[in-house]
Structures are given as structure tokens and as C-alpha cells.
A = this chain, B = another copy of it.
Amino acid sequence: MKLIEHSNGFTLNYKNEVVIEHTEENPFIFVGKGHATYDMYRGNFKIEENIFERIPLINYKLENDDNVKLTMYTEGYKMLQLDFYEEAGRLICKLNTNDEAINRVWIRLYAEKEEKVYGLGEQFSYFNLRGKNFPLWVSEQGVGRNKQTYETFLADVEDKAGGDYYSTFFPEPTFVSSRKYFFHTDESSYMNFNFKENNYHELEFWHVPDKFIISRKDSFLELLEDITALLGRQAELPEWIYDGVILGIQGGTETCLDKVKKAKELGMPVAGIWAQDWEGKRITPFGKRLMWNWQWNEEMYPGLDTEIKKLSAEGIKFLGYANPYLAIEGNLFKEASGKGYIVKNHIGEDYLIDMGCFYAGVVDLTNPKAFEWYKNVIKVNLIDFGLAGWMADFGEYLPTDAVLYSGESAELLHNKWPALWARLNYEAVEERGKLGEVFFFMRAGFTGSQKYSTMMWAGDQNVNWSLDDGLASVIPAALSLGMCGVGLHHSDIGGYTTLYHMKRTKELMKRWIDFSAFTPMMRTHEGNRPDDNWQFDSDVDTLMHLARMGKVFNKLSPYTKALVKENSDKGIPVMRPVFLHYEEDETCYNLQYEYLYGRDILAAPVYKEGVEKWNVYLPKDNWVHIWTGEEFTGGEIEVEAKEGYPPIFYRKQSEYSKLFSEVGKI
């Protein structure tokens, strides 16, 4: 670290890269005050900011001993003290202010025109984040996510739910620059990171961050290893996941068994049944909804307790569903409420949240007793019952005006909630000694999910081909999460959101299956309106298609397992940006719909309707087209891409090349 003063400011370098450039005209830090209103409607937020002041801190005092101790101030007015020091091979900057009323900070990091930026959690619309600003606020992901599309318009008008390019279940103030550094802060307030300017990145915080961290490495792989050394790494996945497809089925024990039987008869490798309605359903004007009372519903799933064991003996696991909310009609809510474990409103009552035709309370995870109680619900009702996994859904709905047991501000806890929810699930599994055997998958996340969320899924895609909210959007989502150290990601096969005119077609279902065979987990979903959607068992052709791609997935498992282990050991994601291994190739930095599946496979999923050929960019290497064996050495190519034969290439020199060639013959 080196601070060099010049005529009207200074430059802070770290490992030969400029981090901060400060001049009187272009100061690097601003402080201020403001207040915001958060209007939440079913997990969608309208946030309005009222800025009182924004003061550039132009003057500085420097105490340069070992570390850089900097006081930034405005004559006789505001000040902020910044202590820069190195720790564990990273640059740390601690912030302190003399004015407790300050609740806005803007930091400008030095930037270069051609620089690119990746990460910020799960970003669905843009992988390279340069040229846009990204509010960081845990919320519903939005339906459509592009104000130019009709679906977004309808969702906005009918449910305030359209979202925008930055809407995400899982934002995180962590990013990687193409200048080979990462930035991270443990801050959890509303933030807005702006990468629009040529000369700086402006990072806005609605709270004074305790500190921020910058790490510089010689390669992106080393950076990812360092991010996860800091934030934690995911455990390995249970072995049984690689056995085949997890079928999303609802409707009761018999339906599940029937569907599995049919699938098995056609040779499908089935790893599990995922029945989100294992705890029962309710009928609302909104359609069928789950019961939100996390225990086996015996009426709907008669004999499930014994069937789970039978299925398990046949090598088929049973998975369920839970979320951090309790519907007010259930016994769990009543118990939690009685114990005072439900998050309160400002007059001390249980804060009841409109979930769409029913109300639910949020278990107060800041109360250690409530946390333990709810963890125990998971242990007893889910794990001990025999579930091998569950969707640990939601996490986005903590209202900012809630009153928490810990006394902390809900405005600051809102973003952290998904990570708390992840930790609860994680500890439940860990304390039952089931890590690596039982797992859960989440859509919401924040800093901390790296360690505590055993698997992510991409949330609720539309059942369509749209870039911002359809099949395609899953790829940048996986890649951006990977750049934050979350390397396990999959999606609802076929998408989820089925509204308005949208219905899942057979073609979309098949393309999504093809894509998912090259992700670390295959799981189908019926969508929110199953009857409107093409399903995996809508015809024999689709069943056969899924059976074959399930075999591909299963056959690949030695390779996939090694990738998952690498993710667990080093934080190198399973699905990787192409530039991770081809740093010298400029083109790779702009690929957002292609990825490396580990070191040795390049996947370029087909995400458009009605095509039979596909254009792929291959960085310079010896590539083999997995289905035909045709060899390529790089560049823009066009390949046949019929259903069931997605554009997949492996490296000829891979130690798995024999395996890959066998996969190609399935």
C-alpha cells in the first residue's frame, strides 16, 4: 500500500494498482444524511430516497506511519476517519465518523475506461456490470424485469411485481474488477453501486460501513479463492444428487409414486422426488398455495413416513419445502406467537405480512431462542422425518419497519435475513450430523450465503425465452454468483412463473432440460400454474428426452463431483465465466450466455426459440464437439444444435476426455 501526495490531492496504490485518486475537484468520498421510505408489496419494494445533504470531503490530514491514517473533512464541519492497513494479504479500510447523524456515504474507487466489473450477487440481466448502476436490496426478482416488455408491464400494473434489470433475491456488495481486484464490505444497508462513469465507481451506502476490503491477485482464480477464504465456502453436495433427476411433483403420495414409476419404466435415472406440497395446500382466490406450516400433511401424503424409507431403499430421495414464515392458521405460528418469537410491528403486535390471500408472521431470527426453536422445527419436522432435502424458499420479506428482538434496525437487517435463514438451515443439518447427505436449496441470499447455503437455485424464471427473465437469464445469474464465491447453482427446469399469456412450451421444456444437464443439479418444476405448462411427463417424447439427458448428467458425475469438490476446497465455481481460464482473450469478458462447466467443458446453451443451429465463441484451445467429435481450435463457429444436442465442447487434452466422449454417445 502506498499513498502518494501530489499538488492537490493524493493517490492510493495497492499492489501496483491505483485504488483511490483524490483531488479537490474530484474527491473520493462524500458523506451526508437522508431518509428513505420503503413500500413493500409482496416482496416488491418501492424505495424513495429523500436526500438532505451530500458533502464532498475535500480536505485531508494524513498520519502516515506504518499504515495510512487519513482524516477527510470539510472545514470545521463533517469528517470521516479512514484507517487503511493490510491484513491477511488484503487492504482493509476502517471508517469512523465524528457525526452520528451521518447515514449516507459515497465512495469513489478509481476506475479505468475499459475496466469491467462482475458479481454483486446474483445478477440476471447483466454479467458485466459496467455502464449501469445496481441497487443492492434483497427482494422479489420481478416478473419480466424489463420495462420494455409486455409481461413486465402487466406484472407492474397488476401486482407491482415487474421488477427491473437489477431486481434480485440475492444481491451482495462484493464485486470483481477486470483489473484483478475484488471489493467487499460487510455492510448490509441499502446500497447502490454505480459503474456508469469512466473514471470512478461510485458506491453508495445508506449507513456508514464499518470497513471495506480490497484484495489484489495475479489471476481471477486466486481472487475467487481469496473471496471464499474471506466469506466461506459451500460444502460438497450429497452423492445421491448425481444419481439423476429430481422430479418436481405435487399432489400426494400416490401421484408421486405413479410419476416416478412411469419415469423409471422409461429408463430415467431418478435421484429424488421434490414435493413442495408435502406440508399441504390451501385454496385461495389466487390459486393453490402451500400451507406454510412446516410439518408432514398426512391427509395429502398418507403413508409418506414409511414410503420415504421404501423409496430411499430404492435409491430415491424425498425432498420437501419450508420458508422463514408461518401462516397464522397453523399450529407452528400459534406456538411461535405464544412464545413471542414472531417479529413485531411498532405497537408490539405480531407483524402479519400479506402473502397473497393469507397472512404469515416472520420468525424473529435475531432472538437466539426463536432461532433455536425454529431450527428445531427443521430438525424434527424435516430432517428426522426423513427429508433428504428441501427448498428453503423466500427470505426477502422482512419489512423495514419491523421491530426486532435484538433491537437492531430492520432496515439494516433486511438484506441479512436470507443469510440468517441459510445459517438456520445449515446448522440444523450440521447439528444432525447430516452435512453432505441432507441439503437444502435457496433463492435468496446475501453475504454469508457462501458458507451457509448448500445450494442456490435461480428463483422464479418466466416460462419463456426472454433474456431478462427466461431461460437465458439463468446463465449470468450463475456466473455472477460464482464471482462472489457461490459456486453451486441450478434452476427450475422449464421455469416457474406462468401468468397472463405465458405458458411453457414443449420446446422450452426440452431446451431447459438440455441446459440443466450441464449444471450441478437437475430438478424439474411444474410452475405456479401446472395445467398451463408443458411438463416432463406431458408426453413420452419429453419423458424420454429427460431420461436421456438425466443419463448424460449422471454419466458426467465423476467430473461434476470433482468440480463440486474444487468449489468446496477453493471456491472456484462449477459454472465459470469463460475468461476465468482465458484471461488473455478480450472477447471472453463479454460472454454472458456461454460458460465453462469446470475447466474442461464449454457450454453454450440454446436460449432462443425455433433454432436448429447456434453460434458459439470458442477461446483458443483444442475443443471437441461432444456429440459429433468435430474438433475446433477457437473463434466464432456455427454448430448444429437440435434438441437434446446442446452446443457442448470439451477440451481435447482433458483428463476426462474419454468420459466426455462416452457422454457424447448417449
Contacts and interface: CB of A to CB of B under 8 A. Distances in A.
Interface of A: 30, 32, 51-56, 74-77, 147-148, 150, 153, 156-157
Contacts of A148: 156-157
A221 to B, nearest CB: 36
A215 to B, nearest CB: 29
Contact of A153 (B53, B75, B153): B153
B53 A56 contact: yes
A150 B150 CA distance: 9
Contact of A74 (B52, B54, B77, B156): B77
Chain A contact residues, majority secondary structure: mixed
A305 to B, nearest CB: 50
Contacts of A157: 148
A54 B77 contact: no
Q: Among A76, A147, A150, A153, which residue has the most Cβ atoms of chain B within 10 A?
A: A153
Contacts of A30: 53
B53 A54 contact: yes
A51 B52 contact: no
Contacts of A77: 74-75, 77
A77 B56 CA distance: 12
15 contacts: A30-B53, A32-B54, A51-B54, A53-B54, A53-B55, A54-B54, A55-B55, A74-B74, A74-B77, A75-B75, A75-B76, A75-B77, A76-B76, A147-B156, A148-B156
A60 to B, nearest CB: 15
Contacts of A56: 52-53
Nearest to A75: B76
Contacts of A54: 32, 51-54
Contacts of A76: 75-76
A51 B53 CA distance: 11
Contacts of A75: 75-77
A61 to B, nearest CB: 16
Contacts of A32: 54
A493 to B, nearest CB: 31
A146 to B, nearest CB: 10
A56 to B, nearest CB: 5
A439 to B, nearest CB: 42
A32 B147 CA distance: 32
A54 B32 CA distance: 9
A53 B153 CA distance: 35
Contacts of A55: 53, 55
Contacts of A52: 54, 56
Q: Which A-B residue pairs are the 10 nearest by beta carbons?
A: A75-B76, A153-B153, A54-B54, A53-B56, A148-B157, A53-B54, A75-B77, A76-B76, A75-B75, A51-B54
Nearest to A32: B54
A333 to B, nearest CB: 35
A468 to B, nearest CB: 14
A449 to B, nearest CB: 33
A356 B118 CA distance: 39
A666 to B, nearest CB: 44
A155 to B, nearest CB: 12
A76 B77 CA distance: 9
A150 B51 CA distance: 33
A418 to B, nearest CB: 30
Nearest to A197: B50
Contacts of A147: 156
A595 to B, nearest CB: 31
Contacts of A74: 74, 77
A183 to B, nearest CB: 21
Nearest to A54: B54
A150 B153 CA distance: 8
Contacts of A150: 153
A75 B77 CA distance: 7
